[in-house]
Amino acid sequence: MKLNWLVLLLCLGGLVFLISCGPTPCAPSTLGAPGNLSPANKAIVPLTPSLHWEYPSSVPSPYPYPAGASGCGISGYQIHLISSVDLTIEHGGTVGSSDTSFSPSSPLAPATLYFWEVRVLVPGGHGPWSGFRAFFTGPVCDTSSLAAPILYSPSGVIHEIWPTLHWAYPGSTCVPEGYRIDLSTSASFADTSLSGGTGNPSTDWAPAHELNTCTNYYWRVAAINDTTLGPFSSTMSFRIVPEGTFCTVYFIPHITGYCRIGPGTLFGLVSTVKMGDELPVKGKHQTQDGMWFDVMTQNGLECWVSDKIGDLTDDPNLIPFITPPSLPESKPNCGSITSDAVCNNTPGCVFDYRQKVCKSN
């Protein structure tokens, strides 16, 4: 155990000697976390990077730890350094109390994401970790050879309203300086208001705010060096449907057509629908002559249209199957009835007093 500072004045032939045996070791409870770590978070570094910190830290220490005592002695620092490829392999080590930097003893793998943190060591224990900081090893890919990223997720129907997008850069020999992400409700990406970038080689990104439910989104990614874009990836799409949410699907006729009481030509007409109308779909029913959709017309009438006269705005699997009305009974031959009383008392018939004929109602 180190001794307290001792000042011994030894007068030998007129000479005065000052002997120091070092400060009292710090108690673990007084230790803070090292701060001001560098390089900057997610920076691109050489394969043998130099990691730096300061102690005591001039920046606020994470709650509930102290900033770190300055009037006592420490034994050194422990550096924890791992890669995202294999979290079990330790690339860190320890340095002495006078060192505030560390370099791994052998070169790290290229084009790899690493995480590191550091803490203070004393004979009685250690202080808190500084918290993980990340960096990428280089080299930076040649701008003229940038490749199209490979998209992973999300795709299809998802539940998260604030999703994180994930992709990968092909190969393992270099990294781009960053990525541009196009996100849009149109596959043409004409609207870029949701687009953004990483500013570093990170291969995940989230939009600036929550996205809309029951909406289709399209996304693609391109690597970028400075302001030069590489080729874009293929396009991937997803639709946000939180659990328990029913999204309205619309039927849009491509011709003017009939809307009937039920799903089939045996049902009577209710209305006509026009080309381009957006008709909310309530349900569907499969018949021998195709799929029929229960829709609401522009006039607020509920009726059925055939899938042959239009298209859906979304996945038909989002529309529930429903039980349609019963098939109509055989219609009477109203035209053969001459008596107005008999006509009016016959289901399905009504007497036209102006033309004096019995008609189907």
Q: Which residues have CB under 8 Å from 94's CB, separation 6+?
A: 76, 77, 78, 79, 121
Phi (first) and psi of residue 309, to 5 degrees: -105, 5
Q: Is 273 exposed, middle or buried (0-12, 13-18, 19+ CB in 10 A)?
A: buried
Contact at 8 Å (CB) between 123 and 1? yes
CATH number at 249-318:
2.30.30.40
31-137: CATH topology is Immunoglobulin-like (2.60.40)
pLDDT by residue for the chain (361 residues), tens digit each? 333 333 333 333 343 433 446 689 999 999 999 999 999 999 999 999 999 999 998 887 777 777 787 789 999 999 999 999 999 999 999 999 999 999 999 999 999 999 999 999 999 899 999 999 999 999 999 999 999 999 999 999 899 999 999 999 999 999 999 999 999 999 999 999 999 999 999 999 999 999 999 999 999 999 999 999 999 999 999 999 999 888 889 999 999 999 999 999 888 888 899 999 999 999 999 998 899 999 999 999 999 999 999 999 888 888 999 999 887 666 677 888 888 887 887 777 899 998 889 988 7
Same fold, 31-137 and 143-240: yes
* Region class of 276: left (phi > 0), else alpha (psi between -120 and 50), else beta: left
CATH number at 143-240:
2.60.40.10
Entry pTM: 0.72
Domain ranges of the chain: 31-137, 143-240, 249-318, 330-361
